[in-house]
Amino acid sequence: MFDTLKMKLYQKKQYIPDIKNAPMRSQFRGLPVLDNSNCDKCGMCKGICPTGALNINPLSIDLSKCTLCGACKNICKNNSINFSSYYKLGVDKKEKLIVTEGLDSETYHKRAIEVRKEIYSIFNRSIKFRQVSAGGCNGCEMELNAAGNANFDMGRFGIDFVASPRHADGIVITGPITKNMAYALEDCYKSTPEPRIVVLCGACALSGGVFQEANEINREFLDKYKVDLYIPGCPVHPLTFINAVLDFIRKK
Amino acid sequence: MDYYIMKNNQRINLLDIPTVDFGVLRAQLAATNLRPVSFFGSDWGQNIKLFVVLADDEKGDLLVSSALVDKNVKEYESIAKDNHQYHMFEREFYEQFNIKPLAHPWLKPVRKNQDNYEFFEMEGEETHQVAVGPIHAGVIEPGHFRFMCQGEKVYNLEIMLGYQHRGVEDLMVKKPSNQLAESICGDSVIAYNMAYSQVMEELCGMEITLRAKLIRRIALEMERVAIHIGDLGAILGDIAYLMGKEVYGVTRTLVINTMLEISGSRFGRGLITVGGVNFDINNELSKKIVDTLDGVKNTVEKMTKVTLKSSTVMSRLEKTGNVSKEVAEELNLVGMIGRSCGINLDSRFDFCDEFYKDFERKSFKATNDAYSRFKIRYKEIIESILFIKKFLKKLQDCETEKLCVEKKDLIPNSFALSIVEGWRGELVHVATTDGEGRLSRYKIKDPSFNNWYGLSMAVRNNGISDFPLCNKGFDLSYCGFDL
Ligand code: SF4
Ligand code: SF4
């Protein structure tokens, strides 16, 4: 008992007080920064990109496919591709994930998630999710778990993962959606009470990511149902996830 | 016996691998006491070629053999019937090539056809089934567990996987990349990417620099430290010792954030590439890593001491989920779980990795239960931190070396193999090239492929409420198994 208390004192406070402005290490690869001016259109970056996220002429990166692996930056001789450590990358429409030259973090974030009045009035700042891993590699799953740990502690904002879809306001999907999980995913979705928020987490869920051309995936679910939030990353950083959800349920 | 003897991380000519009659190979495998590390079919013109790799752990040798199976052959006498270590391999071979092992004791689907899966059933008073999954209560990967219980007691647990099956092996042939390798099993990013890169480097005949090799091993050990600490927390979370869960949880954060400082990703994504590594560790960063790890070690030691003094914790851990050494050997359990059952396998040492040969291989007193699985992690965390520090010191001797060497083309008709001791255990990647120098087959065996069955054995005769504790202790991979 006393040992446990001593341990607690030794640990001190661990949580990040201001989650919206939490500092991020500069090495983190977040929002891409593109510069066409010295790009000589050699196409090396496009050639090395494993997911087809990158286009040249002019340079653009589709964050629904991008794994933020940094390979394009490493291969570019002209320093045309860089990554800032900006992590608030979640958006409500897929088109908003295309990053082009001159898109700074402020502009990106301002248009990222529109306020929907009914969301606040229904959820009143608290939202519970059922997480479904449908071929996720356990990278995104570990980061979503981390979002609830003592550092990030999303529970204090009323965001939680619950065990049953019946208790959930929506589902968070990770992974490219395998054929073998397609049925269970839809079943889970249907078991969630309306209005059934759908959140996609990670490059795999957003576009298939590195598994776009795999034989055993089936993404029909996404043709059938509406998605409310797209959160890019590979894996999604806990701060990216929490901030996207907070923006989504905020009040005007 | 007819084998080609090779070493870990080596390329050999496909034509050098002896091809024996299928029946002869079968008889050899059923009789030998060397354990299989790889067993897979490959399309061979009209026919199918079956490759087998056995490990001689004492000598550090790998024995490769093969058999050409005529396309008209549709069945053969099962090996698993005589040697249980082949049980999963044969099921997989059957699923992929439709050649049926006759008299196989447990011939069930591996990754496909879950609708046709026939569960083991029993009847009687107080007998009931509990079905869990594919979607579980927590944020974890999907899988289905079917418990046959008598009252509270588990008589048998059957594990049906395959929900994560994405078709990785085919995709690796079609479109191989470091990023894909990292995403096969995202809790073992470094191990998978290292195995993939090593196989590709062998297939191309590339020799990478000492510096790159060291940085890879530093990352591999960091991955082990981070996941093991996280798992200690998760185990305690499952027995509601929340103090431990949170303290280990935030301590793990320190390690993965250090990984972020090295590579820009908390799990080391983007660090390793075919030909070397993408990021350096300079002296300043090296010092920072040492400082962080010292702090981490301190906290882990303190917390573990407090935890193991708590009688409520000990009463849950001790004698829960026992797997005897005999059973573990019969099933060929590997890696950390194998070691927690008293099997002293560790591919870092067994296959003579030059970087580990100076380290003392400390023995572990296995008690085969949940406590053993807790303690082995603690031991390995402390050990790995020591390894990392030694590697960091060695880095200073090769400061001027390049991080990455020039890429080369794949050499035709090759067979290459790489075994990496990830935090779960031995991860085996094998690849072959065809006559034109294109990848023709890519085979992966995650340690979980061996160990899932061990979990079934662990929960036998335990209360069903101890399942989460056993499951966390094993912490096996769904996607590494399902591929
Ligand atoms: S960082 Fe994104 S755009 Fe660049 S190579 Fe990787 S996946 Fe492609
Ligand atoms: S997006 Fe990346 S981390 Fe997330 S599930 Fe896919 S491969 Fe894993």
Chain B residue at shortest CA distance from A71: B270
Ligand 1 pocket member A234 (CB < 6 A): no
The pair of structure tokens assigned to B17 is: 């691998």
Instruction: Provide φ and ψ at B31, rounded to 5°.
Output: -90, -30
Same domain assignment for residues A130 and A103: no
Residues of chain B with Cβ-Cβ distance to A83 below 8 Å are: 264
- Does residue A230 fall inside a structural domain? yes
In a domain, A14, yes or no: no
The two structure tokens encoding residue B383: 């050990």
Work out the pLDDT band at B33, boundaries 50, 70, 90: confident
The pLDDT mean for chain B works out to 90
Distance from the A208 Cα atom to the nearest Cα atom in chain B, whole angstroms: 10
pLDDT recorded at residue B373: 93
- From ligand 2's centre to the CA of A201, what distance in Å? 8
Say if A7 falls within a structural domain: no
State how far the Cα of B319 lies from the Cα of B316, in Å rounded to an integer.
Answer: 8
**Can you count the helices (H) and strands (E) in chain B?**
16, 16
Confidence of residue B136 (pLDDT cuts 50, 70, 90): confident
The full set of domains in chain B, from first to last, is 4-102 (3.30.460.80), 168-482 (1.10.645.10)
Nearest-CA neighbor of A197 among A134, A145, A120, A133?
Answer: A120
Ligand 2 atom with the shortest distance to the CA of A143? 3
**pLDDT bracket for residue B383 (50, 70, 90):** very high
Using a CB-CB distance cutoff of 8 angstroms, which residues of chain B are in contact with residue A190? none
Query: In a mutational test of the pocket of ligand 1, which residue from A46, A55, A59, A61 has the highest number of ligand atoms less than 8 Å from its CB?
Result: A61
* Nearest-angstrom CA–CA distance, A54 and A31: 14
Query: For B448-482, what is each residue's pLDDT tens digit?
Result: 999 999 999 999 999 998 999 999 999 999 999 99
Segment A220-237 shows an average pLDDT of 93
Contact A178, A202 (CB under 8 A): no
CATH number (domain holding residue A221): 3.40.50.12280
Q: B440: exposed, middle or buried (C-beta count within 10 Å: 0-12, 13-18, 19+)?
A: buried
Q: Do A131 and B139 touch (CB under 8 A)?
A: yes
> Which tokens go with B370?
């949940």
How does residue B363 score in pLDDT terms, banded at 50, 70 and 90? confident
pLDDT at B57: 87
When pLDDT is averaged across residues A138-142 and rounded to a whole number, the result is 93
What is the model's pLDDT at position B218?
A: 95
Per CB-CB distance under 8 Å, the chain B contacts of A142 are 186-187, 230, 267
According to the model, what pLDDT value does residue B46 have? Answer: 87
User: Among the atoms of ligand 1, which is closest to the Cα of residue A65?
Assistant: 7
B170 and A215 in contact (C-beta within 8 Å)?
yes
Subunit contact A74:B278, Cβ cutoff 8 A: yes
Give the domain range for residue A167. Answer: 117-249
Ligand 1 atom 4: residue of nearest CA: A72
Enter the tokens of residue B361. 């291989």
Measured between CA atoms, the residue of chain A closest to residue B172 is A214
If asked whether residues A122 and A212 sit together in one domain, one would say yes
A84 and A164 co-located in one domain: no
Q: Are residues A107 and A150 in the same domain?
A: no
What is the Cβ-side half-sphere exposure of residue B291, based on CA atoms within 13 angstroms? 6
Q: Report the nearest-CA residue for atom 6 of ligand 2.
A: A204
Cβ distance A217 to A176 under 8 Å? yes
In this structure, the answer to whether residues A31 and A143 fall within a common structural domain is no
Is the model's pLDDT at B183 over the cut of 80? yes
Are A146 and A103 members of one domain? no
Cα A46 to ligand 1 centre (Å): 8
**Nearest Cβ partner for B261 among A25, A130, A237:** A25
Give B3 or B197, the one with higher predicted confidence.
B197
- Provide the token pair at A38: 């010295």
In this predicted structure, what is the pLDDT of residue A252? 57
Average pLDDT, chain A: 89
Residue whose CA is closest, atom 5 of ligand 1?
A49
A228 assigned to some structural domain: yes
So what's the pLDDT on residue B351? 87
Largest CA distance in chain B: 73
CA–CA min distance B244, chain A (Å): 9
A134 and A37 housed in the same domain: no
Contact call for residues A192 and A166 (beta carbons, < 8 A): yes
Map residue B159 onto helix, strand or coil: strand
Structure tokens at A236: 């999604």
Give residue-wise pLDDT tens across range A82-135: 999 999 999 999 999 999 888 888 888 888 888 787 887 888 778 999 999 999
Angle among Cα A67, A70, A76 to the nearest 5 degrees reads 135
How far is CA A31 from each of CA A26, A210, B21, B216, B272, rounded to the nearest angstrom? 12, 19, 57, 27, 22
Q: What is the pLDDT of residues B66-75, one digit of tens each?
A: 998 888 888 8
Please check whether residue A188 is in contact with residue A165, taking contact to mean a CB–CB distance below 8 angstroms: yes
Identify whether residues A51 and A174 lie together within a single domain: no
Q: State pLDDT tens for residues B252-293.
A: 999 999 999 999 999 999 999 999 999 999 989 999 999 999
Cα four-point dihedral sign B283, B288, B294, B297: negative
Per-residue pLDDT at B300 exceeds 60: yes
CA distance B306 to chain A (A): 6
Across the interface, whether the CB atoms of A133 and B269 are under 8 A apart is answered no
Separation of A74 CA from ligand 2 center, angstroms? 21
Q: Do A163 and B138 touch (CB under 8 A)?
A: yes
- Cβ atoms of residues A160 and A131 within 8 Å: no
pLDDT of residue A10: 80
State the smallest CA–CA distance between residue B161 and chain A in angstroms. 10
Shortest-distance atom of ligand 1 to CA A68:
1
Query: Is B260 close to A25, i.e. CB distance below 8 A?
Result: yes
Spatial separation of the C-alpha atoms in residues B423 and B335, rounded to whole Å = 8
What pLDDT is attached to residue A177? 94
Task: Find the CATH number of the domain harbouring A107.
Answer: 3.30.70.3270
Q: Ligand 1 centroid to A236 CA: how many Å?
A: 15
Q: Is residue A4 part of a domain?
A: no
pLDDT at site B107: 87
Residue of A nearest to B301 (CA): A7
Q: How many helices (H) and strands (E) does chain A have?
A: 10, 10
Rounded to the nearest whole angstrom, what is the distance from the C-alpha of residue A71 to the centroid of ligand 1? 6
Ligand 2 centroid – CA B460 distance (Å) = 34
DSSP label at residue A236: P
pLDDT (0 to 100) of residue B117: 85
pLDDT tens, A157-196? 889 999 888 999 999 999 999 999 999 999 999 999 988 9
Cα–Cα separations (whole angstroms), residue A211 to A40, A94, B177, B180, B183: 30, 18, 11, 8, 9
A103 with A130, same domain? no
Mean pLDDT computed over A199-219:
93
Q: Best of A133, A177, A219 to disrupt the B interface by mutation (most B CBs within 10 Å)?
A: A133
Choose the closest CB to A4 out of B138, B187, B306: B306
* Cβ pair A234:B266 closer than 8 A: no
* A101 lies in the same domain as A134: no
| Cα three-residue angle B324-B329-B330, rounded to 5 degrees | 100
A2 occurs within a structural domain: no
Cβ atoms A89, A233 nearer than 8 A: yes
C-beta of A50 in contact with ligand 2 (< 6 A): no
A51 lines ligand 1 (CB under 6 A): yes
Domain match, A82 and A134 both = no
pLDDT at B1: 63
Phi, then psi, of B276 in degrees rounded to 5:
155, -135
CA dihedral sign, ordered B157, B160, B164, B166: positive
One domain for residues A137 and A195: yes
> Does the residue A168 lie in any domain?
yes
Closest residue (by CA) to atom 2 of ligand 1? Answer: A66
A102-106, long-range: CB < 8 A, 24+ apart = A102/A34, A103/A31, A103/A34, A105/A31
**A1 assigned to some structural domain:** no
CB neighbourhood size of B366 (10 A): 21
Look at chain A and report how many structural domains it folds into: 2
Answer yes or no: do A3 and B306 touch at CB < 8 A. yes
Which residues, 6 or more positions from B333, have their beta carbon under 8 angstroms from its beta carbon?
B323, B341, B343, B450, B451, B454
pTM for this predicted structure: 0.94
